């Protein structure tokens, strides 16, 4: 199969490219490198079935030859990014999605949109099933991302109904793993980076707000299960095991073996109170469920961040820092 991955040099996009190549597909990765980084796919550059192109999908998307699958993952995805790039976020979610859908129509390719649990906003239904319409503030600071993804979903379905394109929508819940940027503003990279250098670990509010965290390998498996089906979605892909930010911070400090303490800071506007996917549809239709133990996944991610910080000459905790068992059983 010949696949196009927009945002292919980003955190999720790079893992998708890697998995597609591993199963024997040809991959063309498109990225404008605003939040993506060519280093994320540098290990793939010698693969004859991989090509990385610097492309802004809001300008145009053209690919020669046959294309079987388009995975549209181009977008700023962390609060730090989309608050600094609000117009770009809206443009890639609207214009970029339309261009990618036009390519799918031209090539007769299956199209999969990376949507997000943010379409549920600060949910009043818990856990969140795909049938829930959400509770989103369209003019709040997070609205540029939330509404870009909601528009993308509507545009994807409109192209399916109007032009007969095979489309799928995946709603991605909080995901972590190697290749996250240490300063991208999301909780897990923040907590790990701060723990590794012994800084206070900053937790918003009182830390009681929850997220359901999923390892990137599990997420990619779910995305490709949807891509290989003919189901239109939307389908939630995420780990339903919920944890508070306070407990997650303490757990990461412990796994790092750090002397860091927790410091509470003001909570961002419209920060969701709870977040947990109902994954019944993914289990029933795709046969998918998360398989990677969360503590194992956190250790893997910590080790990757530690290797990156050593390369950058950041101070490290003692090598013999004891690793103890987790505080809260979320696996």
What was the pLDDT predicted at 177? 98
**For 108-162, how does the pLDDT look when each residue is reduced to its tens digit (9 = 90+)?**
999 999 999 999 999 999 999 999 999 999 999 999 999 999 999 999 999 999 9
Active-site residue, selected from the candidate residues 120, 132, 145, 264:
145
Integer distance in angstroms from the first to the last C-alpha of the chain?
34
pLDDT reading at 16 higher than 50: yes
Q: How confident is the model at residue 224 (pLDDT cuts 50, 70, 90)?
A: very high
Q: What is the pLDDT of residue 309?
A: 75
- Does the annotation count 82 as an active-site position? no
Confidence check: pLDDT of 320 > 70: no
The C-alpha atoms of residue 90 and residue 85 are separated, in whole angstroms, by 9
Mean pLDDT of 8-16: 98
The domain limits of the chain are 2-176+214-237
pLDDT at 247: 98
Question: By C-alpha distance, which of 171, 33, 150, 140 is closest to 97?
Answer: 150
Could you tell me what percent of the chain has a pLDDT over 70? 93
Q: Which residues make beta-bridge pairs with 236?
A: 171
Measured CA to CA, the distance from residue 299 to residue 240 in angstroms comes to 19
Whether the pLDDT of residue 100 is over 60: the answer is yes
Average pLDDT over residues 281-287: 98
| pLDDT value, residue 21 | 98
2-176+214-237, what's its fold?
Rossmann fold (3.40.50)
d(CA 253, CA 262) in angstroms, rounded, equals 9
State residue 79's pLDDT score.
87
> Is 323's pLDDT higher than 80?
no
Mean pLDDT of the chain: 93
């Amino acid at each position: 199969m010949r696949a196009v991955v927009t945002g292919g040099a980003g955190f999720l996009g790079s893992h998708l490219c890697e998995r597609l190549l591993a199963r024997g597909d040809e991959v063309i990765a498109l990225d404008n490198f605003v939040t993506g980084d060519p280093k994320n796919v540098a290990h793939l550059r010698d693969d004859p079935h991989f090509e990385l192109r610097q492309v802004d999908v809001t300008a145009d998307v053209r690919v020669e030859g046959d294309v079987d699958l388009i995975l549209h993952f181009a977008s700023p995805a962390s609060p730090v990014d989309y608050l600094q790039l609000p117009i770009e976020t809206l443009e890639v979610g609207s214009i970029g999605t339309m261009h990618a859908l036009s390519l799918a129509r031209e090539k007769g390719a299956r199209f999969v949109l990376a949507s997000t649990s943010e379409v549920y906003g600060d949910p009043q239904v818990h856990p969140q099933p795909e049938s829930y319409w959400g509770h989103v503030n369209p003019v709040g600071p997070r609205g540029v991302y939330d509404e870009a993804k909601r528009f993308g979903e509507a545009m994807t379905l409109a192209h399916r109904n109007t032009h007969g394109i095979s489309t799928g929508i995946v709603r991605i819940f909080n995901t972590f793993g190697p290749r996250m940027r240490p300063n991208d503003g999301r909780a897990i990279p923040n907590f790990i980076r701060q723990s590794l250098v012994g800084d206070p670990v900053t937790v918003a509010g009182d830390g009681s707000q929850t997220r359901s965290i999923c390892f990137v390998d599990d997420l990619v498996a779910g995305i490709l299960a949807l891509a290989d089906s003919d189901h239109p979605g939307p389908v939630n892909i995420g780990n339903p095991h919920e944890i508070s930010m306070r407990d997650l911070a303490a757990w990461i400090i412990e796994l790092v073996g750090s002397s860091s303490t927790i410091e509470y800071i003001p909570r961002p506007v419209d920060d969701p109170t709870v977040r947990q996917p109902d994954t019944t549809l993914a289990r029933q239709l795709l046969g998918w469920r998360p398989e990677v133990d969360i503590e194992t996944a956190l250790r893997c991610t910590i080790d990757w961040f530690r290797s990156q910080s050593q390369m950058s000459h950041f101070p490290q905790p003692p090598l013999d820092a004891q690793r103890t068992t987790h505080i809260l059983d979320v696996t």
